Amino acid sequence: MTIVDTPERRQLRELTRAFVTREVLPHLADWERAGEVPRSLHETAAKIGLLGIGFPEKVGGSGGDLLDSIVVTEEIIRSGGSSGLVAALFTHGIALPHMVAAGNDDLIDRYVRPTLAGTMIGALAITEPDGGSDVAGIRTFARLDGDHYVVNGSKTYITSGLRADFVTTAVCTVLPGSGALSLLVIEKGTPGFTVGRRLEKLGWHCSDTAELSFVDVRVPVTNRIGPEDTGFLAIMQQFASERLSLATQAYATAQRCVELAATWCRDRSTFGRPLASRQLVRHRLAEMHTRAEAARAYVHDVAERVAAGQPVVTEVAMAKNVAVAACDHVVDAALQLHGGFGYLRDAEVERHYRDARILGIGGGTTEIMNEIIAKGIGL
């Protein structure tokens, strides 16, 4: 099954492609060097309705569902953008959904609407220096004191953490490590909340990543998302769309690298003949294309089922692993086919090779996906 190709989705692809061509490609190399994308890009994307795709109009979004978000992600990468760009520009895809699901008008007005309008940037902070896979083991502690929580702890590897105006933060409210989690929206500038250094990374260079520290940070109870101690469930429920986004980034990166490698192999001659005329090279490209296409088809199938409200936690985990495995294989083979040029910063394939490595780590590692799959088959 494939995502139904409606006239609206064709338009959405064209809109996305035009946006990437005009607003991203001329600047992407500079943003990679700067370590972040400019805030103005969020406003530009919001103005044309791209930023709000997948969020209902009643909260300031542009409408559409998970499948439309997938179309945007696919098209960004296939137009020459990158998974790093998706991470930086669409961080709200992980920072806002819990607020939207909880339906608190005050939080929606203060954070969701301005973020979808491109005037605020949000981040999601779950991972801690002591560990990210074990979400129930979160130690950042929020003690209730009147109409405020007093938050102490730290988070790390937080996407858009340097630029974020607010952070949707997972805290525990009973005992550190007890698994009784809540989500608090913590604003930049709140006394005791400090953003640490910019973390240097292998890839995703245009996406800023930060450590966050909370020392006696007073957060109003009104900034809690949903009832107390429902945070773990809220986080798990939203993991499906984050994991499918990462899976989409993986197969779209693979598809883009197949295209780049095929073009290169048609143009590059060795020993008097184009590389693409050699059976070994043709078969290698055929295998790369097959893996990317198979991953795309499976991720689309699972995404359709998620969008239809089916309980497919195991399938989401399998979709992420299938797409990441396809991507890992393809980026490596595509770089190899480029020869020495593939190793240079000037080669687009070099960026995808570096960017791809995070996809099997973020949003739950390949090993954690395998744990979910093992449980799903009754082990």
Nearer to ligand FAD among residue 195 and residue 285 (C-beta):
195
Binding status of residue 154 toward ligand FAD by CB under 6 A: no
Nearer to ligand FAD among residue 154 and residue 336 (C-beta):
154
Q: How many residues sit close enough to ligand FAD to count as binding (CB under 6 A)?
A: 22
Give the burial class of 344: count Cβ atoms within 10 A of its Cβ; 0-12 exposed, 13-18 middle, 19 or more buried: exposed
Nearest to 275, CA basis, from 354, 350, 342 = 342
Question: Contacting ligand FAD (CB under 6 A), which of 38, 103, 131, 339?
Answer: 131
Question: Contacting ligand FAD (CB under 6 A), which of 148, 332, 368, 376?
Answer: 368
Give the burial class of 348: count Cβ atoms within 10 A of its Cβ; 0-12 exposed, 13-18 middle, 19 or more buried: middle
Enter the tokens of residue 338.
């480029």
Binding status of residue 83 toward ligand FAD by CB under 6 A: no
Other CB atoms closer than 10 Å to residue 266's CB: what's the count?
A: 13
Q: Answer whether 291's CB lies under 8 Å from 329's CB.
A: yes
Give the burial class of 293: count Cβ atoms within 10 A of its Cβ; 0-12 exposed, 13-18 middle, 19 or more buried: middle
Binding status of residue 198 toward ligand FAD by CB under 6 A: no
Task: Report the distance separating Cα 262 and Cα 276, nearest Å.
Answer: 7
Binding status of residue 127 toward ligand FAD by CB under 6 A: yes
∠ Cα 239 314 155 (to 5°): 30
Kindly give, in sequence order, each residue whose CB lies less than 8 Å from that of residue 309, ignoring residues fewer than 6 positions away.
none
Question: Contacting ligand FAD (CB under 6 A), which of 52, 97, 132, 226?
Answer: 132
Binding status of residue 333 toward ligand FAD by CB under 6 A: no
Binding status of residue 204 toward ligand FAD by CB under 6 A: yes
N- to C-terminal Cα separation, the chain: 29
Question: Contacting ligand FAD (CB under 6 A), which of 138, 362, 372, 373?
Answer: 362
Nearest to 257, CA basis, from 113, 20, 80, 112 = 80
Question: Contacting ligand FAD (CB under 6 A), which of 124, 195, 258, 335?
Answer: 124
Question: Contacting ligand FAD (CB under 6 A), which of 6, 133, 269, 270?
Answer: 133
Task: Report the distance separating Cα 249 and Cα 318, nearest Å.
Answer: 15
Nearer to ligand FAD among residue 245 and residue 333 (C-beta):
245
Binding status of residue 298 toward ligand FAD by CB under 6 A: no
Q: Please give the biggest Cα pair distance in the chain.
A: 79
Nearer to ligand FAD among residue 173 and residue 207 (C-beta):
207
Question: Contacting ligand FAD (CB under 6 A), which of 37, 70, 71, 125?
Answer: 125
Rounded to the nearest whole angstrom, what is the least distance from the CB of residue 137 to ligand FAD in the complex? 9
Active site residue 242: yes
Task: Give the residue nearest to ligand FAD (CB).
Answer: 132
Residues that bind ligand FAD (CB under 6 A): 123-127, 131-133, 157-159, 201, 204, 209, 358, 361-362, 364-365, 367-368, 371
Just list the catalytic residues. 242
